[in-house]
Amino acid sequence: MIAVVAQPSAKVKRYIEDTGLPFDILVDERRDVIKAYGVWHRAGLDAWNISRPALFLIDGRGTIRYSFVADWQTEFPDHETIVSQLQALPALSRG
């Protein structure tokens, strides 16, 4: 699992140190990755120049098997949906 954030690296490093996150974070300050995945949020009522909350489950062959892209910064898929989508991934991608 990798999280991608469009935040300055110093803030991300401090957050990782404070929370002890158990996964890797890619810092995308130039927003290349979030633009490539179509989740860059240039301007809106609730955000400016960041990504929309999004989740992509990608199998071992690089195929996107599930995607969730929010319209607002407060939207996220629920835990049950994420778990069921992970369980639905082909066995090849889990090993």
Domains of the chain: 2-94 (3.40.30.10)
**42-74 per-position pLDDT tens digit:** 776 656 777 888 999 988 888 899 999 998 888
Predicted structure pTM score: 0.73
The CA distances from residue 38 to 51, 55, 82, in Å, are: 9, 12, 20
**Confidence grade of residue 94 (pLDDT, cut at 50, 70, 90):** very low
Quote the pLDDT of residue 46.
57
Q: Please, what is the average pLDDT of the chain?
A: 85
Rounded to whole angstroms, the Cα distance separating 90 from 5 reads 27
Quote the pLDDT of residue 92.
53
Quote the pLDDT of residue 22.
85
Q: Please, are residues 23 and 40 in contact by the beta-carbon 8 Å criterion?
A: no
